[in-house]
Every structure is written in C-alpha cells, then in structure tokens.
Structure 1
C-alpha cells in the first residue's frame, strides 16, 4: 500500500534542536553558559580567530565577529545527537556579507564547560560590525567610543528538541512543521506590528516618551550628523549640491554639534527633563522637515531620519538592559514591550509553514535547516552545527529575517572533532 504524502514526509523526520534567545540582552557578567553575542569564554590556548575580510572594496585582516557560544551539555539529544556530549562550541564569522555566499568563519571547540573561563577581552583588531565603512554598518556608532559597535549584545540561550522534515514549498510538510514547532514553543502570540518600524516623523512628534536619557540624544544626534556629513561630501549624490541645500545642511550640522556638546557634559543614563525633551523633539522635527524640503537634492530620505530614531531607541533600551539598570523604571514601557515582543513566537499561518518562513526568527542546531536558496541542498550530507536566522538581536549586518547564516561540518570531521573544517553559508530571499 502506497504511503500518503504525510507519511512520506514523516519518514524524513530528523531530530533537531530549536535555539531560543532571551527577549532582552543581559550584562556581560551574566552567568549564562550558552549565549549569542557578548564575549567568548575562551580557554587560554585558543586564539580569537582572524581572517581576510573585504568591506567597501577594502581588504583587511581582522579578528572575526563573535556570534555565539554553546555549552553542549545544555543541548538536548544525548541519546541521538552526533555532537559531543560535553564541551563548548564557539562560533565566529565575518559580519560583512555583501557578495558573500560563504563568509569567512571559524568554529572552535573546547572540552570544558562554558563557564570554566572568564570572558576573553576583545582584541584590538576586532572588526567593526559590518566591517570598516561597510554598507550595513551603523554609522552613528563610533568604533573608538562604542563597545557595541564591535561586540554584539549578550543574549542567554535555551534549547528545545523538535523534529525537522525534508520538504520544499509543500502544504502537507508545512502542516507537520507547524505541529512540531507549536509542540515545542506553544501556539504562539498574535502578530502585532512593530511600534517603531516605518514610523513617520508625525507619529514621533506626538510621542512624548522620547528622548528618555542623554545616551539616546547622543545616538540620534550622531545619526543626523552622519547623514549631513555624507550629503555635504562632493560626489555623494548623482547631481551637484545646490547652494541652498548646502546652507541648510551646514545649519543642521551646527545644531547637531551643539547638542553633542551638551551630551558630553552629562552622564549618558541621566534622565532628560520635560523642557529639554520638548526642545530636542522640536530640533529633530526641524531636521526631518529640512530633509523633506531637500528631497531630490541630497541622497538622504526623510524616512532614513525616522528609521535611525527607531533604531537608536531600540539600541538605547538594549544598552540599559546590558548595563543592568532598572530598565522598567527608566525606559518607557511601550518601547520595552515592543522590543521584547519581536522575539516572541507568533501564531503561524499555513503559508508560513509551507514556505518555512515564520514571523519569528527561528534558530536551530542539527536537522535539515532552512533557507531561501540552495545551501541546505548543497550541504545535505553535512551536519548543521548552527543556523541563525536574521534577528533584531543582531545589528544591521544580520537583522533581516529573510536571511539565514548556517555553520556546517562534514560528519567525518565532526567525528574527529576537527572543527577547523566547519564552513559558513549565508543567503537571503
């Protein structure tokens, strides 16, 4: 008797592990043994890996971005997993993905637990996230001043077993996948729009919650300055800068520098009084309106000014969480809840399952993995050490949920614990 389509897909089932991060980052001192970002707890005999990386057409040898540390004793699957039963894996990768199907990467292994050693200090040649002058670099973060311009925030990880299936754009396979994911993660929360994504300047004008500290003011001002400086640079736009626009940009630059000088005289986490809040919002709205009037004369769009503000708000909330301040008292609740909500498992639709593309970033170890192109087919004989879907936990270099970063290893190399043979693939839809 022929098997039904469901039974055929059931027969492809492989045990795998979902990797879930915390909703908000934690201080570097947090005792987590498995985590995204932060600093690796490397044994002294292991060096921080380096590689040649190209960003913005400049080739340089740099220390790679640290992506994750996983203590294998915390990973389910002692009876079936091909991974070592104990020890720690450390994942490093280039955070420049432009034109990279196989970005430089290294996976290191130690047979010790993840909390055996202290944090390894970042090396002086650690690459900025997205690379020096890379297209996805956050321009308002200064590598000389901002720790998190090179080091991702630290998010503790948890692990849940599930069954993975081999299928492609198949409704029945999608049903099975949704059943497995909901068994592991629950039914999910209703989908809600991101409060800050695509928010207009008029919506920010009505929001009296910002700026809530001087760190946020500094980030917003730096973002404005980065756009102004670029737009004043000859050749930054396809046509010459007219005199009126140049005068306006210089006016905006003077205002931004004035705010930066005020920031330097204050503690970043200090609250902002009501009058200063109103004054700063008025200044920012003036910037947005000025760019609206300069449309077609400079390369910056007003939407970029608004997008930078939303990103700066999220980044400031993360900084507060990472510094272990009383974030629920000091950060507006609406921003805090909105940021945490982006990591929650959302109720999936049949289409989500069919295309294996969900509203929540799903990370995993083992199984088949998923991706928008052909990496999973090319590496069908390899072991999936780790799959990291684009996630807002990461900066712009890997925040797009339509992108997937995989770490693969040949089964024979894994059996020999030769993690130098691990390779990375990166693909986007």
Structure 2
C-alpha cells in the first residue's frame, strides 16, 4: 500500500511540474502571457486536476501489479493451509460416506430380514397345513362323502368352440378373476418361491341342478392350480385351490401370474414337447407357460345302482353287465357318440414322392408357418452345431478333405437361410399375430420352400440322430402334420379363423377333444373323463386312501387338446374333507398325482 501512495505523490508532482513548464514554455515562445486572462486561469486550474488524474491512474496500475505478484504467494499459502486442513476434511467426508453406506447396508439388511421373515412365515404356513391334525369325520361328513360318491359332474369340451365364449368355466389360459386373486406360490426344490400353473376355473353359479348340487356353493368361482413345472416337492400339493365368492363384476379380467412361471413340464422336457422352438438363442424364455384355453360344460352322471330282480333290464344279462351298459348310455347321452381316429391330419401313410398338403388352404395362418419354419430353423441349428463340433475335432481342418467338406456344408446352410430370409421372418412373429391368416404370396412362398425341402435342397444331415426318419426329407411330413394340427387349433380359437378350415378338418380335430373314443370305448368301455365329485379313478392307491375321508372336488385326466399328459395316462385329483367343503375352506384342498 505504501508503494501505491508514493507512486501517487511522485506522479502528481511530476505531472504538475511538467504541465507548468509546458505552459511557461508556450508563453516564452509567444513573448507574452496567454490571452485572454480567463483562459490562462482555466489552464492553471486544470494543471493540478490533470496531475491528480494521472497520479490516480498510475497508482491504480501499480496496485494491480502488486496484487498480481501476491496472488501466487497467497495460492501457495492457501494450498499449504488446505493441505494442513485436508486430513480433517477428508476424515469428515469419509465418515459421512461411511454413515451413508451404513444406512444403505442397514436398509438392505432390514429388507432381507423382512423377506426372510415373510419366507419363513410362508414355509411355516405350508408346513402347519401339511402337518395339521384333522378332526375325525362326523356323521354328517360321512353322509356328504356318500352323497358325493353317488353322482359326478362330468366335464366335456365345447367343440367346436363358441364365439364369443359364453361361460366362465374353462380349462387352460389364465384366470378370469378380480385383481386381488391370490395366485398360489410355493417354494420349489431350490428354495425359491415359484407360482403354480393355472389349470382351469369353474363357475359354480352355472352348475346344473343335480343329486349332489347342495354340497357346492350356489355362487362363486373355483380356481385350480397345479405344480406342472416339475420343480416342486410334496408341499406343492397344498393350497392349490382358490375360491372367490359372489358373481363376476365388470372390473374382472385376465390375471397373469405374479412371478416368473416356469415352462410347462420344465424347460428340459419342454424341448421335446415343443421342438420347433429350440432354434431360439434362449428357448427356455419362449416355451409355453400356459395351456390352451378351452371352454367346458358340466353335466350330472349318476352312479348306476345294482340291478335287482324285477328290474325291466334284469333279463338283458348279468347284473354287472346291465350296470355297465347303463353307465355307457349315460356317458353317450352327455359326451355324444364315440369318435374314431381320423388320420386326415396324420403323417401316417402320406405320400413322399410329392409334397403332401393336408387340406385345401394349407398353410392357413401364422401359427402354421411358425411351427413349420421353427422345425426347419431348429433342424438347421442342430446340424450347424453338429458340423462345427466335428470340425473342432479335426487336427488340420483347412488341409483335411473332411474339413473342406464340412466347411462347404456350413456355407450351404448359411446360403440357404440367406436365400429364404423373407419367409423365415414369419417364424419371428409375436403370439398375438399367430392366428392371422397368411396371404396368398406367403402361402405360395412357404409351399415352394416345403417342396424344395422334399426335393432335397438341404444336404444330407451329419448329426447322429436316433431314428433315420427324423432326418430331412423323411421327417418333413411329420412337421407338416404337427403344423396342420397346431394351425387348425389356433384357427378355431378365432371367429374369423374358423372360416379358414374345411369342415373335414374340424371333424378330424374332434377326436382330440372327445372323451369317448373308439375302438376302446365300444370294445371295453375305457375312457378318460374330467369330473367334479363322484368316484376318483383308481390308478395306484391315492383314490383308495383318500376316498374314505375326502370328497373328490375335481379330477383331471390326460387330454390331447390341452396337452395334458398327467404322466403316463394318469390323473390329478383334488380332494377336500367334507367339513372344509361345508365351511368353504377350499384352501385346505389336497392334490394327488398318479400315473401308470
């Protein structure tokens, strides 16, 4: 600051002195004082003012330079000061971060603890239900068991399907229910909660009057679930039924499962059930999680009583023969006449010297194309993987003649897919588009592709397959047959799709939807029937063990149209104690699975 003051004073003195000397020099040059006198006085007044201004400017400039010199020093000093203070600041910052991490860790720990408590509570609930001690069956309960055994509600498919669907009773698809439907979730073998597969629902208010109608609620809906993914143990046989009271409301709708539902029968078995889907990079993501939806109807079939003497039919044969005949008459009256196998959509004995076209208008829709092209893409994928695996075993793949041959095969497969890329796009359509009809160009192009395959457009397969007829072109008719069935079934679910199918195709599908099938039914009376109440079919010992204390709430048998196998022609049976049925405690229903 002192330097600035000295600069100001020195500049002022020098400036004033210089301007006075300048004025004196001008007057000496003129030889007289500056006239007029007012001008001379004004100049004398301006000399100190100008000096002060110049001194101020010089002093300010000097001050700026001094500050500029001090800033680096101040920066260094500040840095040294900050360096001394940084450990404390860093420590505080680390403590703040650590506190934040502790809070986050605490929140995670609390969330995990809540999840574990919920998980443990769910396990305890299941275990308590499994291990609960049921009270002895009362006399009223035994009367209810006897009443339920004397008659059953037989179930049949509505075929051909009605459009629009008129009933809230159906198998497959997803439940039509309120948003708060409690979808059963059970711990699988990995200890993870997994939703069960939806099997079907029954509208109790639409049930016809009959001998045991009083046992079931007058209104409401029953929803049946089952552990179909193959990932469960015995605990999954409990909590498999849900009951919703009252009538359906306008805010009800399709309810999808609350978690990730595993493929039907599990991913490992699904690759054999849906081989046309294995071409996907992750086929386990696209395997079906739900069964196809089929509307059902229910009707009463009474247990046939013993034939006594004096009975009008007593003379028709032995009592058991008469009873069997009466039973058959009831079955035919409800299910219709037995249906014989129709091979119109079967690959058996179909021509191989020309392209087999199952019916006029084939291929019908995107579903048909999806299956056909899926088979082909999966076949190419399998062969390509097999060729690459064989190439990897060759020590000198580029010099070896076998390596050259296999490399040429890879190029042929790649070129084949490139040449037909447009038609292959039909295999990537979404589920919502699979019922759409193919246009004439798509149908023509797809038939041309099938003819190329029949004529041997692809090279002979190198992959070792268990059966020679699984190679192209021998396997082509099997692909066509499966695609024809899948496409026709898909068309039946759409009111516009039915028009795509000839009547003969609909009749060929009837066998898949029928309970009574010849020659088995006419020959020995055998059949596989879904039913509510009545006597459960005895396959091993479950029916005999459960029947004395339980009522058969529902029995599901194998069903081609629904793709239900139930093991080897087995049955899924839902059993409930009469006291639980009377109190509407359907959550206490127990499921048994048996097969041959």
Q: TM-score, normalised by structure 2?
A: 0.56
Q: How does 1:88-237 map to 2 (within 5 A)?
A: 88-96=221-229, 104=237, 106-114=240-248, 117-135=252-270, 137-141=273-277, 149-164=288-303, 174-186=324-336, 188-199=337-348, 202=351, 205-207=355-357, 209=359, 210-230=362-382
Paired residue for 1:87, among 202, 220, 232? Answer: 220
Instruction: Give the aligned partner of residue 40 of structure 1.
Output: 175
Q: 1:19 to 1:346 in 2, by over 3 A?
A: closer
* 8 Å Cα contact 2:188/2:232 also seen in 1: no
Task: Give the conservation status (yes or no) of the 8 Å contact 1:53–1:94.
Answer: no
| Displacement after TM superposition at 1:389 (Å) | 1.5
Contact 1:214–1:271 (8 Å) recurs in 2: no
- TM-superposition CA deviations, 1:188-233 (whole Å, max 9, x none): 1452334334535636833264323343222212123334445655
- Cα 1:387–1:353, aligned 2, differ >3 Å: closer, same or farther? farther
CA shift for structure 1 position 347 = 6.4
Shift in CA distance, 275/109, structure 1 to aligned 2, threshold 3 Å = closer
Equivalent-residue separation in structure 2 for 1:249 and 1:302 (angstroms): 22
1-structure distance, mates of 2:449, 2:458: 14
CA contact (8 A) 2:157 2:295 kept: yes
Q: Using the TM superposition, name which of 247-256 and 313-322 deviates more.
A: 247-256
Greater C-alpha radius of gyration: 2
Distance 1:181 1:68 in 2: 22
Cα gap change, 1:263 to 1:388, in 2 (>3 Å): same
Cα distance in 1 between the residues matched to 2:410 and 2:344: 30
Secondary structure of residue in 2 paired with 1:152: coil
Distance 1:96 1:126, change over 3 A: closer
TM-fit CA distance, 1:133: 3.3
Output the CA distance in 2 between the equivalents of 1:26 and 1:256: 40
The structure-2 alpha-carbon separation of the partners of 1:253 and 1:390, relative to structure 1 and needing over 3 Å to count, comes to farther
1:324 is aligned to 495
Flag the 1:31–1:160 CA change in 2: closer, same or farther, 3 A: closer
Residue in 2 that maps onto 1:278:
447
Q: Cα offset for 1:63? A: 2.2
The residue aligned with 2:150 is 14
Residues 107 and 255 of structure 1, relative CA distance in 2, 3 Å threshold: farther
- Establish whether residue 264 from structure 1 lines up as the match of residue 425 from structure 2: yes
| Greater relative CO (CA pairs within 8 A, separation 6+) | 1
RMSD over aligned Cα atoms: 4.3
Cross-structure match for 2:587: 420
Question: d(CA) in 1 for partners of 2:262 and 2:199?
Answer: 13
**How far off its partner does 1:18 sit?**
0.6
Measured after TM superposition, the shift of residue 108 of structure 1 is 0.3
Tell me the matched-pair count. 402
- Structure with the higher helix share, 1 or 2: 2
Structure number with the higher strand fraction is 1
SS of the equivalent of 1:311 reads helix
Structure 2 distance, partners of 1:272, 1:418, is 56
Q: 1:53 to 1:24 in 2, by over 3 A?
A: farther
Q: By how many angstroms is 1:394 displaced? A: 1.5
Deviation at residue 298 of structure 1 after TM alignment: 2.3
Q: Which one of the candidate residues 362, 367, 375 is aligned to 2:534?
A: 367
Distance 1:248 1:133, change over 3 A: farther
For structure 1, the 5+ residue unaligned runs are: 1-10
Q: Which residue of 2 aligns with 1:7?
A: none
Residues 102 and 423 of structure 1 are in contact (CA less than 8 Å); yes or no, is this contact kept in structure 2? Answer: no
SS at match of 2:300: strand
The 8 Å contact of residues 157 and 294 in structure 2, kept in 1 or not, is answered as: yes
1:270-419 equivalent positions in 2, closer than 5 A: 270-273=438-441, 275-285=444-454, 297-299=464-466, 302=469, 306-328=477-499, 330-344=500-514, 346=516, 352=521, 357-358=526-527, 361-381=528-548, 382-395=550-563, 397-398=564-565, 402-419=569-586
Contact kept, 8 Å, 1:228 with 1:252, in 2: the verdict is yes
TM-score (normalised: structure 1): 0.75
1:405 is displaced (CA, Å) by 2.1
- Correspondence 1:231-250 to 2 at 5 A: none
List alignment gaps of at least 5 residues for structure 2: 1-146, 307-319, 394-401
Q: Displacement of 1:299 after TM fit?
A: 4.2
Distance 1:399 1:85, change over 3 A: same
CA distance in 2, matches of 1:289, 1:100: 46
Partner-residue secondary structure (3-state), 1:140? helix
Q: Is the 8 A contact 2:172 2:198 kept in 1?
A: yes
